[in-house]
Amino acid sequence: MATPDTNVRYIKGIGETRAKALEKLDIHTLRDLIAYFPRRYEDRRTIYSIAELPVGETACCRAMIADTPTTQRISGGRTVVKVRAVDETGRLDITFFNQDYRARQLHKGESYVFCGKVEGNLLRRQMTNPILEREGENALTGRIVPIYPLTAGINQPLLQKAVRQGLDACRDILPDILPDEVRQAHSLCYSSYAYEHIHFPTDFETLQQAHRRLAFEELFVLTCALHLLRQRRTDVQGPQMSAIDLAPFFSALPFTLTDDQHKAIADAVGDMLAQRPMNRLCQGDVGSGKTMVAAACAFFAAQNGWQSALMAPTEVLARQHYKTLAPLFERLGLTCALLTGSTRAAERKKLLAALEAGEIHLLLGTHALLTEDVVYHKLGLVITDEQHRFGVTQRAALGQKGEHPHMLVLSATPIPRTLALIMYGDLDVSIIRQLPPGRKAVETFRVKEKLRSRLNGFIRKQVEEGHQVFIICPLVGEEDMLPDERKAVTAYTKKLQSDVFPDLRIAALHGKMKSKEKETIMAAFAAGETDILVSTTVVEVGVDVPNATLMVVENAEFFGLSQLHQLRGRVGRGSAQSYCVLISDTDNAETLERLNAFKSTNDGFEIAEQDLRLRGPGDFFGARQHGLPELKLADLQCDIRALDEAQTAAKELLKADPELTDPRHEGLSQRVHSLFVTTAEGLN
């Protein structure tokens, strides 16, 4: 008997081959399949006559095949099938490229419904590669049709059919996890009705009802999960600390901290003086000074007799932190050490002995901090930089080096208030908005491809003045190339080196390289040994290269605003004026609005709000960087009322059943606990 966790390959009509294709969409189980929601819908309920077909629009018409289809071979081994269809009002010429099976499928005298973009003029209508089905089938036309995100090997009809089979298979086995009293109080439909109509709505009213129910459920379950995580945190005691004077720390700094930095430090110190472990997110724009907040917390812990650990996602970043903090700690009479995968064996042995003896106050490093032989004398504070780059097991392993240590998470991704409200409901949040005095805003421009030669001249000018340049491409290499004009790192690097800047030092960097190779290339760029670094977004968060003054983003229309902002933050770290140039020939109104919004401000939080408004929470973090459960339907920018309702309902339920142990809440409890692994990854 099927259950929601049954593998999709066991569902009738799917099988092994389709199941493997569906895995590319992260669809493994029956639950995954029915929770793979459409990204949009096409209303194909109106069936036009040929004469009424609106030119330039996608539309459906019913017509009969008038002649036997003809097949031709054209250049490149491709095929073209042409056929004429008619009704009482006119003639429709249909062309299929690389679909030679259509010649065998379509028979003279049979009637079909065709759906596609209408071309031609008032006298002659045409369609190219239309969707079609026999008259009366009503599977692909004559109804509101779901349109899903796809991957190679999966097309819309296949996925639509698979979802239909999935819904039929689990109609009687999917539990309704919302308690009846909650569902009735908020006038929500049943779960089975919602899943049916989110995929195959009979009209837009039923679609709205289904969407509302499932969005409410997402927010309700996540609120319950965050509540239980918070409860667990307050049940244990953190490392005990006493108030100490931070004046020596501030005096040792060669600059004055901003008011926001002072407030973030005060927030964290207040947490560490409380009974429970600190669990704080320090969130600030690139270059806002989060590292100094971490340093103040480590100083405070050291004065209380506790050690601190700071874990960075890459060796280059760890070294960068060490270079900044080691001299500061030395002035304060404290010891700072660096441990990475490339630390020599003899040096490592000596370092680990000092750590266990309590002689090292702050240990910085990468995943090397997690190995079994790393033993702390008294670990009281764990700091993770760019927390979305670490898995839950990595952070948990570091936390287990001490007994419920205080946790400070640093993030350079500005998160909109509405998103932070739900996504970081378990963390206390400190926000650093102010930039250190003297930092110049990066000047941002959008240029079209026709100005390429002028841009190349500007790149050369920056290098001749002793500066360095980033060039960001959306793709890695030739094998990634789509049938469009997107630049790819490997191919474009070769072209720049051979045709444009043969005399300059150019390097390529992308995510398909091994970690060691990436670190070597990035370290060489940071050391000034490379003039131009051509890269994917692998550089969007990370190394501080004060000498880099120009960020060029190719095909900028393919990046989200927050991603562009992270990229822009790689320049402007030194005293020289820096620039960000977006290359885009797009004429899409929505994309132009995004790029213009980006040009108009350097405020990361304002950009984050814009990104959320224009792209929605599903795209905000790119490829699930935050590590939190994906909100598939809830729109946090528009559904603030729904969020309030879901949170209120969840709090009322948890007041009566704090641990969800009531047998009536078994389905809800299972769903909530299934989120813990993912949620903990983002929150702990």
For residue 315, is pLDDT > 60? Answer: yes
Structure token pair of residue 410: 């640093």
For residue 357, is pLDDT > 80? Answer: yes
Distance set, CA 140 to CA 37, 64, 133, 154, 161 (Å): 17, 17, 7, 16, 10
Please check whether residue 600 is in contact with residue 178, taking contact to mean a CB–CB distance below 8 angstroms.
Answer: no
Q: What is the mean predicted confidence (pLDDT) over 208-233?
A: 82
Query: Which one has a higher pLDDT value, 226 or 46?
Result: 46
pTM of the model: 0.61
Q: Tell me the residue type at 643.
A: L
DSSP state of 7: B
Q: Please state the separation of Cα 117 from the chain's center in Å.
A: 32
Tens-digit pLDDT profile for residues 554-605: 999 888 887 888 889 889 887 889 999 999 988 888 888 888 888 888 877 7
pLDDT at 123: 80
Low-confidence winner among 22-31, 169-178, 296-305 (lowest mean pLDDT): 169-178
Tens-digit pLDDT profile for residues 530-550: 999 999 887 755 667 889 999
H-helix or E-strand containing 585?
none
For residue 398, is pLDDT > 90? Answer: no
pLDDT band at 320 (very low <50, low <70, confident <90, very high): confident
For residue 263, is pLDDT > 50? Answer: yes
For residue 484, is pLDDT > 80? Answer: no
In the chain, list all ranges with CATH 3.40.50.300.
247-432, 443-601
For residue 503, is pLDDT > 90? Answer: yes
Low-confidence winner among 5-14, 133-142, 526-535, 601-610 (lowest mean pLDDT): 601-610
In the chain, list all ranges with CATH 1.10.150.
1-45+149-174
Number of separate helices (H) and strands (E) present in the chain:
23, 24
Distance set, CA 65 to CA 25, 94, 265 (Å): 37, 10, 75
Residue in the block written with tokens 């770290």? 573
Residues 6+ apart with CB under 8 A from 673: none
Quick count: other Cβ atoms within 10 Å of Cβ 391?
11
In the chain, list all ranges with CATH 2.40.50.140.
47-142
Q: Over the chain, what is the mean pLDDT?
A: 84
Q: Please state the separation of Cα 107 from the chain's center in Å.
A: 48
pLDDT band at 95 (very low <50, low <70, confident <90, very high): very high
pLDDT at 463: 96
Q: What is the mean predicted confidence (pLDDT) over 36-49?
A: 91
What is the C-alpha R_g of the chain? 29
- Paired residues of 553 in beta bridges: 472, 582
SS (H, E, C) 465-529: CCCEEEEECCECCHHHCCCCCCCEHHHHHHHHHHHHCCCCCEEEECCCCCHHHHHHHHHHHHCCC
CATH number of 443-601: 3.40.50.300
CATH number of this structure's domain 247-432, picked from the four choices 3.40.50.920, 3.40.91.10, 3.40.50.300, 3.40.190.10: 3.40.50.300
Please check whether residue 285 is in contact with residue 433, taking contact to mean a CB–CB distance below 8 angstroms.
Answer: yes
Tens-digit pLDDT profile for residues 600-658: 888 777 777 776 666 554 444 433 333 345 567 776 555 667 777 888 888 889 888 88
589-599 and 561-568 helices, crossing angle to 10°: 30
Q: What is the mean predicted confidence (pLDDT) over 315-342?
A: 92
Residue in the block written with tokens 């309704």? 176
Please check whether residue 408 is in contact with residue 382, taking contact to mean a CB–CB distance below 8 angstroms.
Answer: yes
Instruction: Return the CATH fold of 47-142.
Output: OB fold (Dihydrolipoamide Acetyltransferase, E2P) (2.40.50)
- Paired residues of 378 in beta bridges: none
- Paired residues of 71 in beta bridges: 81
pLDDT at 619: 45
Distance set, CA 547 to CA 147, 324, 325, 466, 508 (Å): 47, 17, 20, 8, 18
Please check whether residue 149 is in contact with residue 20, taking contact to mean a CB–CB distance below 8 angstroms.
Answer: no
How far is it, in rounded angstroms, from Cα 425 to Cα 262?
Answer: 23
191-199 and 156-170 helices, crossing angle to 10°: 170
pLDDT band at 671 (very low <50, low <70, confident <90, very high): confident
Quick count: other Cβ atoms within 10 Å of Cβ 124?
12
Residue in the block written with tokens 């390959």? 9
Report the largest interatomic distance among the alpha carbons of the chain, rounded to a whole angstrom. 93
pLDDT at 676: 57
pLDDT at 536: 87
Q: Tell me the residue type at 506.
A: I
Strand-pair category, 406-411 with 379-385:
parallel
- Paired residues of 128 in beta bridges: 95
How far is it, in rounded angstroms, from Cα 405 to Cα 376?
Answer: 12
Please check whether residue 534 is in contact with residue 496, taking contact to mean a CB–CB distance below 8 angstroms.
Answer: yes
Distance set, CA 652 to CA 220, 260, 646 (Å): 11, 36, 10
pLDDT band at 365 (very low <50, low <70, confident <90, very high): very high
Structure token pair of residue 229: 């995580």
DSSP state of 140: S
pLDDT band at 347 (very low <50, low <70, confident <90, very high): very high
pLDDT band at 399 (very low <50, low <70, confident <90, very high): low
- Residue 345 three-state SS: helix
Short-list 517, 529, 543, CA closest to 323: 543
pLDDT at 204: 92
Instruction: Return the CATH fold of 1-45+149-174.
Output: DNA polymerase; domain 1 (1.10.150)
DSSP state of 109: T
Do you know the residue count of the chain?
684
